[in-house]
Amino acid sequence: MGFDAVAVTDVDLSAHAPHVREWLAKGFAGDMGYLQRNLEKRLHPDLLELETCRVISARMNYLPADTQPLEVLARSEQAYISRYALGRDYHKVLRKRLATLATRIDDAMPGHRYRAFTDSAPVLEKALGAKAGLGWMGKHTLLLHQDVGSWFFLGEIYTNAPLPCSPQTVEDACGKCRACITVCPTQAIVGPKKLDARRCISYLTIEHKGAIDSELREKMGNRIYGCDDCQLYCPWNRDAPTTREPDFAPRHNLQNRDLIDLFLLSAEEYDTLTLGSAMRRVSYAQWQRNLAIALGNGPATKDAMNALQTRLGQLNDMVDEHIQWALDKLAGQLE
């Protein structure tokens, strides 16, 4: 079914609870209030799905081959999109495979309940994956494995079937390395395994709906949807495998599109571009905001300035603020 690893764990997440509660108390979740609302269900899987005693955690590699992420980041006139979002929406891919897996397990062990999740419910995916032995929590807060790095999705099946737990545990192998902390463009990783989402480019470009702090805009570069820097520079990702899943191959040449072309898309064209994609999470206004920032961080060409000017006053005040910021920044380069 395309999974690269599957493991089983129990539902005791008490060891992770203090870290999660502290992270929320410090306000590091930003606008993501839903993380607080369902906290007890996150920490206690048997509250989310009654009688759950085991979690099947599955891993699927997603990194497409030959997308040249570092080269695209270096081309300021091109758009950088996080590599997980270039292809088909991973929610759809993993959930369908997990449901099929659950059906097969039910055929072998009938009479139990199974429910599949993929980043779609109050589930502590990384904690459960680490507990099952699929990796360790890296300093960048992503799950890491020595053999495959961190370019993978996680999915879960909650069940009341008393399956044997996987015996393996994975030792933390980050050591003294601080590459992810050092290279983060906005210094969002405030300490080992501590991410302030309010500064994270992935949060800013996807989860945050309003204006982006002017102090952070220049640091965003040409990243218009998500950010992969902490993974790109992680030593454990040097030889990370690419995906075998055709659904994760880039669509619409999104791996290296020009910023101006994307910025000039109409709302209807944007809907067509993102059909069946994880990028649908971002509204058209956010899309315009993110691209305006990227254009402001790019070369001061006549085409870039004309594109920004044509969109001024077309959508809302929030987008206009970022377009004007970009225009002022580009004009400053020409002085």
Residues carrying an active site annotation: 119
DSSP single-letter state for residue 218: G
Provide the 10 A C-beta neighbour count for residue 190. 13
Beta strands in 196-284 (DSSP E): 223-225
The H or E element that residue 129 is part of is: helix 125-132
Helix (H) or strand (E) holding 330: helix 317-334
Token pair listed for 172:
């933390």
Alpha-carbon distance 22 to 213, whole Å? 25
Question: 276 — alpha (psi -120 to 50), left (phi > 0) or beta?
Answer: left
* End-to-end CA gap in the chain: 58
Which residue in 267, 273, 268, 271 sits closest to 254, CA to CA? Answer: 273
